[in-house]
Amino acid sequence: MRISFFCRAKFDFWKILKVTFGVNMLLVLSEEHKEHLNFLNKVDAAVVGEFGRIALEFLRRGISPKVYEGAARKLSVPVEAVRHGVEGLMYLMTQSSKHMLSEVDFVDSLLSLEFGDELNQSLLQMYQQHRGEIRSILSLVPSSLPAYHNLEWRLDVQLASRCLRQQVAPTLATRLHLTHGGARGSGAEQPSSRRVLHVDLATLLHLISILEGALAALKSTHTRRILRNVK
Amino acid sequence: MQWKVGLAVSSDTCRSLNSPFVTILLKIAEPSGQISQKAFEMTVPQFQNFHKQMKELAAVMETI
């Protein structure tokens, strides 16, 4: 691993942060993986492009074994070879996208496969074109906590109840909309759930002061230092 | 059954609402034996309709 950022010895935490974001990484491919990918060397460029397209589709929508059978028949090769080729390609693409490999590192990782230049270039192009999309698919995988979507509120004044007449009691009725799953900011959030909550004014003031405290924490020097280094 | 009468003063969509409403809280015994609570809100015309229907229901019960 080549470390290309100068690490300040002062804070171990910063060292870890800088090493994580500054390191140049190479993928180490297992022998089995290399064997599977070697199939790509034996077919021509059009087939490699087609395999790439299939691999992307499978990443988007899941694997469908029928496609393997069709391709195996067309190429007159065993189904297993096609399956290994496509899945090896899927794994190569997802691992490279996961680690945000630079172009140089991606090509370097392929060196151990001893592919020709043309094949390396077409794989690199495939990676560059689809890296962003693969990363957004990968971010959907872990199920996330319900997230804030919207808050509707209504100020009510309670005038009377079964037990007590002639009241003036203000309360806030709120409806909290939450979304489940899906990456933040993407359109892929699943249908939300809604909770109706009633808040009395004292609790409301307490809520406001807690949230303002959380916002103020964003402006603290500690947080600012972290954000500066992450960018 | 519990009820309360309130006035919706304003909301995030309408700053000057001034609309009276009735909230009813029903405690229901489910077939399983558990007691669950159902709350619902009605505007004044809806409540008047509800009241009329309850009266009709009571009248029918008397004839049984």
pLDDT in tens, B21-38: 999 999 999 888 899 999
pLDDT tier at A111, thresholds 50, 70, 90 = confident
pLDDT of A153 over the 90 cut: yes
Nearest CA in chain B to A174: B11
Work out the minimum CA distance from A200 to partner chain B, whole angstroms. 14
Q: Which of A153, A154, A158 sits opposite B4 (nearest CB)?
A: A158
Work out the minimum CA distance from A179 to partner chain B, whole angstroms. 20
Q: Which positions in chain A have a beta carbon within 8 angstroms of at least one beta carbon in chain B?
A: 151-163, 170-171
Question: Do B11 and A159 lie within an 8 Å CB cutoff?
Answer: no
Q: Which of A153, A154, A160 sits opposite B4 (nearest CB)?
A: A160
Q: Which of B3, B8, B11 sits opposite A162 (nearest CB)?
A: B3
Question: Do B6 and A153 lie within an 8 Å CB cutoff?
Answer: no
Quote the percentage of chain B above a pLDDT of 70.
Answer: 100
Work out the minimum CA distance from B41 to partner chain A, whole angstroms. 12
Question: Do A155 and B4 lie within an 8 Å CB cutoff?
Answer: no
Q: Could you report the per-residue pLDDT of A125-137, keeping only the tens digit for each?
A: 888 888 888 888 8
pLDDT tier at A2, thresholds 50, 70, 90 = very low
| Region A40-65 average pLDDT | 84
Q: b/e for B41-63, b at 16 or more Cβ within 10 A?
A: bbeeeebeeeeeeeeeeeeeeee
How confident is the model at residue A4, as a pLDDT? Answer: 36
